Copies of this chain bind each other. A is one copy, B any other.
Amino acid sequence: MNASKIPDIIIGRLPIYLRALQGMAAQGMKTTSSQELGDHVGISAAQIRKDISQFGEFGKQGTGYSITFLMDKLREILKVNRTWDVAVIGVGDMGHALARYGGFGERGFRVVMLFDSDAAKIGEKIGEFVVEDVAQIVERVGACKIKVAMVAVPSASAQEVADKLVQAGVKAILNYAPTALNVPAGVHVQHIDPSTHLQRMTFYLE
Contacts and interface: CB of A to CB of B under 8 A. Distances in A.
Interface of A: 3, 8, 11-12, 14-16, 18-20, 23, 40-42, 77-80, 84, 86, 92-94, 96-98, 100-101, 103-104, 107-109, 147-148, 150, 155, 171-172, 174, 178-180, 188, 190-205
Contacts of A194: 98, 101, 104, 150, 174, 192
Contacts of A86: 198
Copies of this chain, tallied across the complex:
2
A177 to B, nearest CB: 9
Given A41-B180, A107-B198, A188-B205, 13 more contacts: A14-B199, A14-B203, A15-B200, A16-B191, A23-B155, A42-B180, A78-B199, A79-B203, A104-B194, A109-B195, A148-B198, A171-B204, A171-B205
27 contacts: A11-B203, A11-B204, A15-B195, A19-B180, A19-B193, A20-B180, A23-B155, A23-B180, A41-B180, A79-B202, A93-B96, A93-B97, A93-B101, A94-B97, A101-B194, A103-B178, A103-B195, A107-B198, A108-B198, A148-B198, A148-B201, A148-B205, A150-B194, A174-B194, A188-B204, A192-B192, A192-B194
